[in-house]
Amino acid sequence: MELTIVLIILSIVFSNVLSLKNKYINKEKYQQTLKKLDLIEKAIESYAASHNRLPCPAIGELKASEKKFGLESTNLEDGNFKCRDLILFKQISHGTVPVRTLQLDDDFMFDGWSRRIGYSIDSNFSNPEYYLSSHNGSIKIVGGNNQVKTNHAMMVLVSHGKNGYCAWPHYGETQIYNSSTNDDKRVNCSNYQTGNHIFIQKPFSKQNPSDELSYFDDIVRYKMRWQFN
């Protein structure tokens, strides 16, 4: 009887320790992701300042061993860069961070959970003439309670969080589509699937208290015209 009680107590203690450890690890991965996003934003700002345009997204499906991994996907048309090989709708191009174009280490392609960070732009701003004009971006950012934060973002970065729904995995190939029941994560995912131009940026929250897969944990960053002046 005493042995049984001891085993039960040890089991509870072990479970609590494991839970705390997992929370600590997840917090570390979250902090790693924030630091990477900070440096990616600075690299994009630096690139835009020296090239008078935004870099196009890289192709998310490519393996790290492939020649075009981490390079912006572009096509030269009429003397200007145009984003190509990507989902394009309402002039919004979606893909992943062009780390090699930005002269970042390949590790910056991945968030703290080792999945690829999404990068989307209003592709008009890959054109230097358009970039140097007074035009605003056309990406819509929506916060909690469907509050519109802006209709004029030029670029967006997205880590799909611990859940990873819709992220390209570390090795590339197809995105992860089977790990979320959250409507807002699905909105962010629809950008890649249909070329939508709406992103949800809001605090982490659970849509259904009894459903672990309903947790919203996307980390979204965006920039507007005035932030590149």
Distances (CA, A) of 80 to 53, 75, 127, 129, 135: 10, 8, 6, 9, 17
C-alpha to C-alpha distance for 88 and 123, rounded to whole angstroms = 9
CA 97 to chain centre: 9
Q: Give 87-121 pLDDT, tens digit per residue.
A: 555 688 889 999 999 999 999 999 999 999 999 99
Least-confidence region, from 14-23, 125-134, 195-204: 14-23
Taking the whole predicted model, whether its pTM rises above 0.75 is answered as yes
Q: Distance from first CA to last CA of the chain, Å, rounded?
A: 73
Q: Give 3-55 pLDDT, tens digit per residue.
A: 566 555 555 544 554 444 455 457 999 999 999 999 999 999 999 999 999 99
Q: Where are the domains of the chain?
A: 2-228
- Which of 198, 94, 91, 207 lies closest to 147, judged by CA? 198
Q: Give 34-47 pLDDT, tens digit per residue.
A: 999 999 999 999 99
Mean pLDDT of the chain: 85
As beta bridge partners, residue 148 has 142
C-alpha to C-alpha distance for 27 and 105, rounded to whole angstroms = 23
Burial of 115 (0-12, 13-18, 19+ CB in 10 A): buried
- pLDDT value, residue 26: 78
- pLDDT value, residue 20: 45
